[in-house]
Amino acid sequence: MKIWIPGPTHVRSEILEEQTRAMIGHRSKAMSELIERIDPPLRLAFGLASGSSATVAVGNHSATAMMEGALLGVGPRVLSVVNGSFSKRWAEIGKLLEKDVSVLEFPWGQAVTQVQLEEALKTALKAQRPFDAVTLVVCETSTGVLTPLAPVAKALRSSPETLLLVDVVSAIAGSPLDFDAHGLDFALAGVNKALALPPGITVMCASKRYLDGARTKKRMSWYLDPIRTIDGHVERKTPATPVVTLYRALARQLEDITKGVTLPARDQGKTGAAAWSARFEKHARLRQATLAWAARHGLAPFPPEPLSSPTVSCITAGGLDVAALIDALKKKGHEIGNGYDKLKGQTFRIGHMGDHTEQGLAELLQAMDEVFDSVRVRA
């Protein structure tokens, strides 16, 4: 079965094999060397400028755990931009941690604009209650919306003390990130989306000012403490027993991406930042092909097209029976995703992310052509 759901996504056999090697002790030199291999390419994934003072690290848990961890390191006043299910999760976690959470809510399928965010930040400043942090999700996997970060960064300039915490779960390695230029303070992601690894660990990046601020806060968790995790990583140690197998898979995948190993023939020979850019361009072409298929069949993307994610296309189902479409495709060896939560049955989602190829997508779209007429809802 070819897996096209919006994560976990297809994992290359070389990566699966990487996890079958003999175990090493997690306090060994071999483990320190393994951690050492991860940082240089991980810094490229977060788009860190050379000489950036930000720090990257790995956490032994899924992404949601580090949403909690990231919030532990900021002050009480949090503004959560909510435009889907995962951005809502930031707000829910903030409330559970007894933060003073304000929600800037948008209908599913939309994204915050610079003006709207600026207005919320300025109103808080005028009341002399500036926000300590803004949370948002860059690629809302539930709706296929990619929130552009440049306007968000501009809005944050009106409230310089406010930190920006972003979930880049289904954005990283599929869409360019510019951690420094976009003024990010904390970014986190699971690895089972466009990094194309099995689930289980989280990558993160924290700015110096986030870390400086977090060190002054009361430590409220042992396992999820961002300082313990990040300082441990910097010392090439892990606070608790790590998922050694996934560290190996991560190191190999990041190195392969950086060496251009995963690129299509047209981009062979590209390495370093150029290889990462070519990976992003491949994702943009996968989005374009998917949306062109939808347009040919009279179907619209759920988000307005400029907001359509390069990693997950969420398509309005129109006259299609989504459950029947999913079943028919499974019979042809492809698995796509239903709409998420309240969009179930109204949309379907294709995760064209990670190491999926243009040839592979063409085969999926061909299969979708073949079943299309049989899954229309009859009047």
Ligand X SMILES: Cc1ncc(COP(=O)(O)O)c(C=O)c1O
Distance CA(214)–CA(167), nearest Å, equals 18
Contact of 113 with 143, CB cutoff 8 Å: no
Query: Is residue 145 involved in binding ligand X (CB under 6 A)?
Result: no
CB 202 → ligand X: shortest distance, Å?
Answer: 8
Distance CA(197)–CA(249), nearest Å, equals 7
Query: Is residue 86 involved in binding ligand X (CB under 6 A)?
Result: yes
The residues pairing with 204 across neighbouring beta strands, listed in sequence order, are 57, 188
**Choices 58-66, 325-333, 344-352, 359-367; region in contact with ligand X by CB under 6 A:** 58-66
Q: Which is nearer to ligand X, 143 or 207 (CB)?
A: 143
CB 219 → ligand X: shortest distance, Å?
Answer: 22
Binders of ligand X in range 180-199 (CB under 6 A): 190, 199
Site string (263-302) toward ligand X, x via CB under 6 A: ----------------------------------------
The residues pairing with 42 across neighbouring beta strands, listed in sequence order, are none
**Choices 61-69, 172-180, 284-292, 354-362; region in contact with ligand X by CB under 6 A:** 61-69
Q: Which is nearer to ligand X, 68 or 225 (CB)?
A: 68
**Angle (nearest 5°) at CA 225 between 221 and 228:** 125
**Choices 34-42, 59-67, 330-338, 362-370; region in contact with ligand X by CB under 6 A:** 59-67
Query: Is residue 64 involved in binding ligand X (CB under 6 A)?
Result: yes
Contact of 358 with 289, CB cutoff 8 Å: yes
Q: Please, which residues have CB within 8 angstroms of residue 308's CB and are 6 or more apart in sequence?
A: 144, 145, 146, 287, 291, 301
Distance CA(358)–CA(310), nearest Å, equals 13
Query: Is residue 60 involved in binding ligand X (CB under 6 A)?
Result: no
Binders of ligand X in range 7-36 (CB under 6 A): 7
Distance of CA 31 to CAs 56, 192, 199, 246, Å? 17, 22, 20, 12
**Choices 62-70, 118-126, 220-228, 316-324; region in contact with ligand X by CB under 6 A:** 62-70
CB 47 → ligand X: shortest distance, Å?
Answer: 18
Distance CA(185)–CA(207), nearest Å, equals 5
Using the rule CB under 6 A, which residue among 11, 63, 81, 254 binds ligand X? 63
Q: Which is nearer to ligand X, 137 or 196 (CB)?
A: 137
Q: Which is nearer to ligand X, 315 or 375 (CB)?
A: 315
| Cis, peptide link before residue 8, omega less than 30° from 0 | yes
Q: Which is nearer to ligand X, 88 or 367 (CB)?
A: 88
CB 261 → ligand X: shortest distance, Å?
Answer: 25
Q: Which is nearer to ligand X, 135 or 258 (CB)?
A: 135
Contact of 173 with 29, CB cutoff 8 Å: no
Q: Which is nearer to ligand X, 301 or 351 (CB)?
A: 351
Using the rule CB under 6 A, which residue among 137, 196, 250, 254 binds ligand X? 137
End-to-end alpha carbon distance in the chain: 32
Query: Is residue 141 involved in binding ligand X (CB under 6 A)?
Result: yes
Binders of ligand X in range 152-181 (CB under 6 A): 167, 169-170
Distance CA(112)–CA(135), nearest Å, equals 12
Which secondary structure element, helix H or strand E, spans residue 137, and what is its range? strand 133-137
Other CB atoms within 10 Å distance of the CB of residue 183: 19
Q: Which is nearer to ligand X, 15 or 31 (CB)?
A: 15
Which secondary structure element, helix H or strand E, spans residue 118, and what is its range? helix 114-126
> In the structure encoding, which two tokens stand for residue 221, read together?
């968790």
Amino acid at 28: S
CB 78 → ligand X: shortest distance, Å?
Answer: 17
Q: How many residues bind ligand X (CB under 6 A)?
A: 12
Scanning the structure block, which residue is given the tokens 């939560």? 341
Question: Could you list the residues that contact ligand X (CB under 6 A)?
Answer: 7, 62-64, 86, 137, 141, 167, 169-170, 190, 199
